[in-house]
Structure 1
Amino acid sequence: MALRATEWQKLPVSLTELCINTTLRCGQSFRWRKSAEDEWSCALHGRILSFRQDPEYLQYRAIFPSSRYATPPPSNNPSAAQSVVPEGDDTLSLVKHYFNLGPNLRQLYDQWASADNNFKKRAPKFTGVRILRQDPWEALIGFICSSNNNISRISQMVHNLCLHYGPLIGHVGGEPYHDFPTPESLAGPKVEQHLMKLGFGYRAKYIAKTAAMVAGDKGLVWLEGLCNPENPQFGVEPKPAGELVEGGREGYRKAHEELLALHGVGPKVADCVCLMGLGWSESVPVDTHVWQIAQRDYRFGKGKHSSLTAATYTAVANHFRKLWGKEAGWAHSVLFTANLKAFSERLIAKTKVKEEDVKVKAELDGSTVVEDTTRMKTAVKKKVKRALEDEYQVVEVKEKVVKRSKRRRE
């Protein structure tokens, strides 16, 4: 497939406003992968987007199929496809939209820190975490895959969905990049069985049935209609969305309730979709990580909230909305990221390495002294930080020499 790549462009964005090495791998989107050292790529809206970053700039480029300039590209978002002008390049607008670059993140962090000492304590190590504006359909299927799962395995599942059912956009470094599959492509009669063979387990049924519902009576128009009008789809003008009240704005509560009618969507998955696909920033998904945070740092886990019941789920989410306000879901995502093992301290140890030297020395009385010199390299367990960009592992090694002498008769 012939491709046309744009030149690398620079957008002035500091690491405190956006850190892609954290934002792209903290469990929001599952399709970004390393295409080169310090470079992330993904097929998005009919093109392959690549990013790299330095302390002052976000650098980006787009790779289009050559047909992109003759006909609209394949896309899971009809409004995005229609907004593409064949002679133009809307990549800058897409980048700003996708990374949600409008709000001043430093100000938001300061606001959340002033309201919460725990956030003030933990957030400085995790600056630049932004809530992505993802396609609602991709977010829905991605988070159905997240049920009782980890980020690595979810990413592999989503990659397989794109590889087997998404339109091929092109190759980077010999690796194929596919856009996200449409509801129609995942609603076929053999999809569930195929996904079972690919290791999706019980999620295969959920994906196939939800795809059939969205491809059928409901339609993508229904799903996109659940979006926060203040945080709409790419290419759509924002509108007011109402005031935040107990439990969230009316539009958020409606979106959450309607998502629960889909197969494989419980309260947590619905909240993930609301926050990271529909733009409802007060949505607070409460999973095991967030429950641990609530118990450890916010005095949950006792009395009537001793376990994570439906009532406790709501109580935790309402507590964070009251604490952090309209962008509570964003603030919660910063603490969620700080709680992930991928970004935490770790004890690392290394196998001992032994080196032996033997020296033989003759004595005048006819005996021989054999002097064994054993040089031992001993690894010392040490708590070290794993860098956010690259997961370096550091071991401090101490060396000591042990000498033993013994006498034997010849």
Structure 2
Amino acid sequence: MEYKGYKIEHKDNKVIVEGVLDFDPVHVFDCGQCFRWIKQLDQSYTGVAYGRAINVKCQDAILELSNTDIEDFKNIWFDYFDLGRDYSYIKEKVMKDEIMKEAVKFGSGIRLLKQDIWETLISFIISANNRIPRIMKTVDEISRTYGREIEMDGGKYYAFPGIQELSGATLEGLERSGAGFRCKYIMSAARVIDEGQISLGSVASMDISDARSYLMKFQGVGPKVADCTLLYSGTKYDVFPTDVWVKRVMEELYFKREASFGEIQEFARDYFGEYAGFAQQYLFYYARQNRIGAK
């Protein structure tokens, strides 16, 4: 059957999607935007999102999603994998110079996932001053402890816990996940949302500045975590998440001198405009894999 420009088929508990361009699972899942996907021996990825566990393969423009059906593809995975967006157009818009041409070529299969904003917020609170393997382990432990169990092919996986599950958590229980000093921030975020003090559903209608400021009401959320939450939940795309490392990358590639966080944000806003988030992800992946800006 046809669905929004793709030929899709349900077979043996799999959804097979033909005509998927600009999608490389390595680029998508290892570019730093998500923490629930694990590479398998056959080069596929298995992960959990929106309370579902699936396995993902993509080769020769054929996307294969195992442990799902057509209904979930339409209701969850089509948007989650941003399949409604023409990434060849995005690439044209961000390839403004030789640096970006090289970055886009290197990470040509990146697609920005539309993750659940609550999970994204907590994941990037955990990411502060942390390394990706440790973040992945912590998010997994929190899901194992507080999330719902999911079975797939005889294996057990765990959904990320909802707001109410974590609002009832204890500091001692969370500390066993390895989140360290971030535990108090996780508990606080869950409780202020559960009590109605902050609504994550409100940020989509705000402009970037207001949305960022609103998210920074959460304890432990600065500009970088706020921008990551907005970008990787698919809420806003004209953000350019910048931490100390991204700052060094921009100084090395563009400024050729020290630059302030404000200068970098202004440059990204003016230079990349509404596509700043896509540009950041191509640059981030390219720089991290090639150790640009590393000390």
TM superposition score category, shorter chain reference? 0.7 to 0.9
Is the partner of 1:26 in helix, strand or coil?
coil
Compared CA separation, residues 278 and 99, structure 1 to 2 (3 A): closer
Give 2:25's match in structure 1, choosing from 20, 28, 36: 20
Whether the aligned pair in 1 keeps the contact of 2:25 and 2:58 (CA below 8 Å) is yes
Amino acid across the alignment from 1:253 = S
Instruction: Trace 1:337-356 onto structure 2 (pairs within 5 A).
Output: 337-340=285-288, 343-344=289-290
Compared CA separation, residues 294 and 34, structure 1 to 2 (3 A): closer
Matched, 1:270 2:226: yes
Q: What's the offset of the Cα at 1:63?
A: 4.7
Q: In the alignment, what sits opposite 1:314?
A: 262
Matched, 1:10 2:10: no
**Higher mean Cα deviation, 196-205 or 5-14?**
5-14
Matched, 1:130 2:111: yes
Compared CA separation, residues 6 and 283, structure 1 to 2 (3 A): farther
Identity of aligned residues (%): 27
Q: In the alignment, what sits opposite 2:76?
A: 94
Q: Any stretches of 5+ residues in structure 2 without a counterpart?
A: 1-10
Q: What's the offset of the Cα at 1:326?
A: 0.5
Instruction: Trace 1:4-403 onto structure 2 (pairs within 5 A).
Output: 7-14=13-20, 17-34=22-39, 37-63=42-68, 89-113=71-95, 115-172=96-153, 174-188=154-168, 190=170, 192-218=171-197, 222-227=199-204, 251-299=207-255, 301-302=257-258, 305=259, 312-340=260-288, 343-344=289-290
The superposition leaves residues 98-157 of structure 1 with CA deviations (integer Å, 9 ceiling, x where unpaired) of 0112221122212211x2331023321210211111110010000000000111111111
The superposition leaves residues 7-30 of structure 1 with CA deviations (integer Å, 9 ceiling, x where unpaired) of 222212445x11111111211110
Q: What's the offset of the Cα at 1:196?
A: 1.8
Q: What's the offset of the Cα at 1:267?
A: 0.8
Q: Compare relative contact order (CA 8 Å, sep 6+) and give the higher one, 1 or 2.
A: 2
Measured in 2, the distance between the counterparts of 1:156 and 1:318 equals 35
Q: What's the offset of the Cα at 1:189?
A: 5.1
The superposition leaves residues 293-347 of structure 1 with CA deviations (integer Å, 9 ceiling, x where unpaired) of 2110111644xx3xxxxxx22321220121112111111110101111xx338xx
Whether the aligned pair in 2 keeps the contact of 1:289 and 1:339 (CA below 8 Å) is no
Runs of 4+ more than 3 Å apart: none
Measured in 2, the distance between the counterparts of 1:47 and 1:124 equals 32
Compared CA separation, residues 215 and 294, structure 1 to 2 (3 A): same
Kindly report the root-mean-square deviation, in angstroms, between the aligned alpha carbons of the 2 structures. 2.2
Whether the aligned pair in 2 keeps the contact of 1:139 and 1:276 (CA below 8 Å) is yes
**Higher mean Cα deviation, 209-218 or 156-165?**
209-218
Is the partner of 2:207 in helix, strand or coil?
helix
Measured in 1, the distance between the counterparts of 2:216 and 2:250 equals 24
Amino acid across the alignment from 2:200 = L
Aligned residues: 282
Q: What's the offset of the Cα at 1:177?
A: 0.9
Amino acid across the alignment from 1:204 = C
Measured in 2, the distance between the counterparts of 1:103 and 1:269 equals 25
Measured in 2, the distance between the counterparts of 1:176 and 1:35 equals 15
Q: Any stretches of 5+ residues in structure 1 without a counterpart?
A: 65-87, 229-249, 306-311, 346-410
Measured in 2, the distance between the counterparts of 1:103 and 1:109 equals 11
Is the partner of 2:282 in helix, strand or coil?
helix
Amino acid across the alignment from 1:11 = V
Measured in 1, the distance between the counterparts of 2:248 and 2:106 equals 19
Amino acid across the alignment from 1:42 = G
Amino acid across the alignment from 1:95 = W
Amino acid across the alignment from 2:290 = S
Whether the aligned pair in 2 keeps the contact of 1:226 and 1:278 (CA below 8 Å) is no
Amino acid across the alignment from 1:198 = S
Amino acid across the alignment from 1:8 = K
Amino acid across the alignment from 1:223 = L
Measured in 2, the distance between the counterparts of 1:36 and 1:181 equals 28
Structure with more of its chain in helix, by fraction = 2
